[in-house]
Structure 1
Amino acid sequence: MHIVILGCGRVGSTLAHTLEDMGHTVAVIDQDPDAFRRLRSSTAKTAVTGLGHAHDVLVSAGIEDAEAFSAVSSGDNSNIISARVARETFGVTNVVARIYDPRRAEVYQRLGIPTVGTVNWTADTILRRLVPGDPGVSSGPLWRDPSGSLVMTEAPLSAQWVGRRVEQLEAALPLRVAYLSRAGELLLPRGDEPLRAGDVLHVLARRGDIDSVQARLRPHESEGNGG
């Protein structure tokens, strides 16, 4: 597979090297030719200097044969414009853009451009580690589909569900268990897997159901005070 990457910062260069190690071909675009110093000599041979949304620059990077495009430059506007050109002009199927402004990220998700909201994602991830189990933190989505209608969230298992099977939980609530964390290990549970105390669920649900799902999964006050 050939993949074009816009942006040769830490993320872009790491992506390029990782993808090459996986056996893919890569071309990296950046306005600053000095940025290509981050690349291996073999990777730098296919680097292209210029704007990521410029037709001739994209063609030079092999966009016409590319199956994927990633925009990870430092500018939101450059990332989203380039991502849209890759998809709408050149018909690239797999396109993703890094977006710093969370308000913009939601807009572009609705346009069908998958985005990675760097600031919110990083802050939410850190908060989950700082105050695990806090309902104000854990209720935020870990992932949402491009339309925004389906989300994944993390929820510590409360006592009322301990001992029940995954299939019973899915039958009782409008969700699907994507995976669970148990004693430091990640599991892809079958329907007959019994739930245990200490399990942390990662569940998929429709956006309109997520608040009720969180409320049903959240420990009751009596569980938190020992009563």
Structure 2
Amino acid sequence: MKVIICGAGQVGWQIARHLSSENNDVTVVDNNPDLVRRATDTLDVQGLTGFASYPDVLDRAGARDADMVIAATFSDEVNMVTCQVAHSVFGVPRKIARLRARSYLDAIYSDLYRRDHLPIDVVISPEKEVAEAVLNRIASPTTFDTESFLGGDAKMLGIALDDDCPVLDTPLRQLSELFSTLRAIVVGIRREGTLFSPEPGDQMFAGDQIYVFTHAADVPRTLEIFGKTGAAPERIVIIGGGNVGLAVARSLEASETRIRSRVIEANRARAEVAADALERTIVLHGDGLDVDLMREAGVERADVVLSLTDDDKTNMLASVRAKSSGAGMAISLVNDPTMIPLMDPLGIDAYVNPRATTVSSILRHIRHGRVRGVYSIGDAEAEVIEAQVLSTSPICGKTIREIDFPEGALVGAVQRSGKVFRPAGSTRIEEGDAVAIFALTADVPAVETLLQVSIDFF
């Protein structure tokens, strides 16, 4: 597949990294020569310096025979014009654009993106995706990562194991025997910074971070088994009332559970916008690091504090201060993946990485064949691929133990006739089944080959 990626920032670079590793023909376009040089020096891609919306630049990037254009520059308008030029001048079949401004995303204006208007096939909203990721974290407050699969019937939970975890030093094989009715399976373990797929005889130790697939109905029991219990949050303080913070506050107001939330925003104009948009949420104007303002917002009584400004350092410091003031849990928005190892030493309970969230969303629309969802884990360490099994797939009709999965891949859940169950070595994969597979990044191409997703384009 020939893909042109417009924008070589964090998201564009990460998408290029994924696609180039899967032997796609990738060209990266950016008006910043340093970003283009970084992409060409570190990845197997071609690079071009110039404005992505210019027809001559797209022409030199190979738009005449491109299969897809991904417009992920920092400008909504450049992304929109790029897709228009790619369609009108070069007839590129598929166009994906990242758009931030709320006005462009309003449902009443959705006709704007029809082919006879602005021909954008998929619109990605980073703020919307990140807000949903934050809400997922709140729904499972004792996890550091969570994502839904198989129509919401399966969950992947990231759990940090403490010294009081009741199943430490227990081989995973024995876990399945002890809790035979539990529809859960450990698919990944991060130990001392290294993520791996465990063998049945592997044990878990204090300090490990594990990824567990479980049926949605079994989430409370799964968390209890791994020593994570806690009531649903009732008091939430949001530091940062920008697009992400406002979207989260709106969703909390609309939720069925009675959650009391407050917002702290340093910019007066944004604080006024938030105050006008929210009905039951108190909005305070001021510095989110100010101790007196934190006290006024009730941080010491908060079940969860969400630090959602556009500055990583502010978010981390605000989270640390909130925890030291008595907040039950702190979740921080962190763009720079090199900051993530600092979360645990600083006592920050969970984080949301907008780059990983946006990359996952874009990859979901790039994959071939019957792949229905892709979720990127950590700093592109692994992926969870959700796919429907084709009749021609090499895995169709075989039991899981008969399938030649790479070492870094494990089946986390299988859905058949609307029912999700825990896979075992004797589980036979049938045509029409939906599977969720955890795979280390190096093993993703091999997994896609097993699913035969590389031969059919949508």
1:217 equivalent in structure 2: 447
Equivalences for residues 1-227 of structure 1 within 5 A: 1-22=234-255, 23-36=258-271, 37-39=273-275, 40=277, 42-43=279-280, 46-87=282-323, 89-104=324-339, 106-111=340-345, 113=348, 114-132=350-368, 142-144=376-378, 153-154=384-385, 156=387, 159-164=393-398, 177-179=411-413, 188-191=420-423, 194-197=428-431, 201-204=435-438, 210=440, 214=444, 217-219=447-449
Do the aligned residues in 1 keep the contact of 2:332 with 2:351 (CA within 8 Å)? yes
Q: Go from structure 1 to structure 2 and tell me whether the alpha carbon gap of 1:35 and 1:94 turns closer, same or farther (over 3 Å shift).
A: same
The alignment-based identity, stated in percent, is: 19
The alpha-carbon deviation at position 212 of structure 1 amounts to 7.0
Unaligned 5+ residue runs, structure 2? Answer: 1-233
One-letter amino acid matched to 2:264: I
Do the aligned residues in 2 keep the contact of 1:155 with 1:214 (CA within 8 Å)? no
- Separation (CA, whole Å) in 2 of partners of 1:52 and 1:186: 46
Do the aligned residues in 1 keep the contact of 2:245 with 2:308 (CA within 8 Å)? yes
The alpha-carbon deviation at position 223 of structure 1 amounts to 8.9
Q: TM-score, normalised by structure 1?
A: 0.69
The alpha-carbon deviation at position 28 of structure 1 amounts to 0.2
Q: When the two structures are aligned, how many residues end up with a matched partner?
A: 207
Do the aligned residues in 2 keep the contact of 1:166 with 1:189 (CA within 8 Å)? no
**SS of equivalent to 2:264:** strand
Q: Go from structure 1 to structure 2 and tell me whether the alpha carbon gap of 1:216 and 1:200 turns closer, same or farther (over 3 Å shift).
A: farther
Do the aligned residues in 1 keep the contact of 2:266 with 2:287 (CA within 8 Å)? yes
**SS of equivalent to 1:27:** strand
Q: Go from structure 1 to structure 2 and tell me whether the alpha carbon gap of 1:224 and 1:71 turns closer, same or farther (over 3 Å shift).
A: closer
Q: Go from structure 1 to structure 2 and tell me whether the alpha carbon gap of 1:224 and 1:172 turns closer, same or farther (over 3 Å shift).
A: closer
Q: Go from structure 1 to structure 2 and tell me whether the alpha carbon gap of 1:95 and 1:201 turns closer, same or farther (over 3 Å shift).
A: farther
Q: Go from structure 1 to structure 2 and tell me whether the alpha carbon gap of 1:108 and 1:125 turns closer, same or farther (over 3 Å shift).
A: farther
Please report the RMSD computed on the Cα atoms of aligned residues, expressed in angstroms: 4.0
- Separation (CA, whole Å) in 2 of partners of 1:186 and 1:213: 28
Q: Go from structure 1 to structure 2 and tell me whether the alpha carbon gap of 1:26 and 1:154 turns closer, same or farther (over 3 Å shift).
A: same
- Separation (CA, whole Å) in 1 of partners of 2:343 and 2:431: 36
- Separation (CA, whole Å) in 1 of partners of 2:421 and 2:402: 13
Do the aligned residues in 1 keep the contact of 2:394 with 2:451 (CA within 8 Å)? no
One-letter amino acid matched to 1:123: V
One-letter amino acid matched to 2:329: N
- Separation (CA, whole Å) in 2 of partners of 1:94 and 1:219: 41
Q: What CA deviation, in whole Å up to 9, does each residue of 1:107-126 have, x standing for no partner? A: 33454532222123213421
The alpha-carbon deviation at position 63 of structure 1 amounts to 0.8
One-letter amino acid matched to 1:3: I
Q: What CA deviation, in whole Å up to 9, does each residue of 1:85-135 have, x standing for no partner? A: 222x0343332111222332x3334545322221232134213412437xx
Q: TM-score, normalised by structure 2?
A: 0.38
- Separation (CA, whole Å) in 1 of partners of 2:422 and 2:452: 30
The alpha-carbon deviation at position 191 of structure 1 amounts to 3.4
Q: What CA deviation, in whole Å up to 9, does each residue of 1:157-185 have, x standing for no partner? A: 6833223456887x996765444688xx9
Q: Go from structure 1 to structure 2 and tell me whether the alpha carbon gap of 1:199 and 1:212 turns closer, same or farther (over 3 Å shift).
A: farther
Unaligned 5+ residue runs, structure 1? Answer: none
Which structure is higher in helix share?
1
Q: Go from structure 1 to structure 2 and tell me whether the alpha carbon gap of 1:72 and 1:211 turns closer, same or farther (over 3 Å shift).
A: closer
- Separation (CA, whole Å) in 1 of partners of 2:252 and 2:452: 50
Q: Go from structure 1 to structure 2 and tell me whether the alpha carbon gap of 1:131 and 1:224 turns closer, same or farther (over 3 Å shift).
A: closer
- Separation (CA, whole Å) in 1 of partners of 2:436 and 2:260: 34
Higher Rg: 2
One-letter amino acid matched to 1:73: T
- Separation (CA, whole Å) in 1 of partners of 2:383 and 2:455: 28
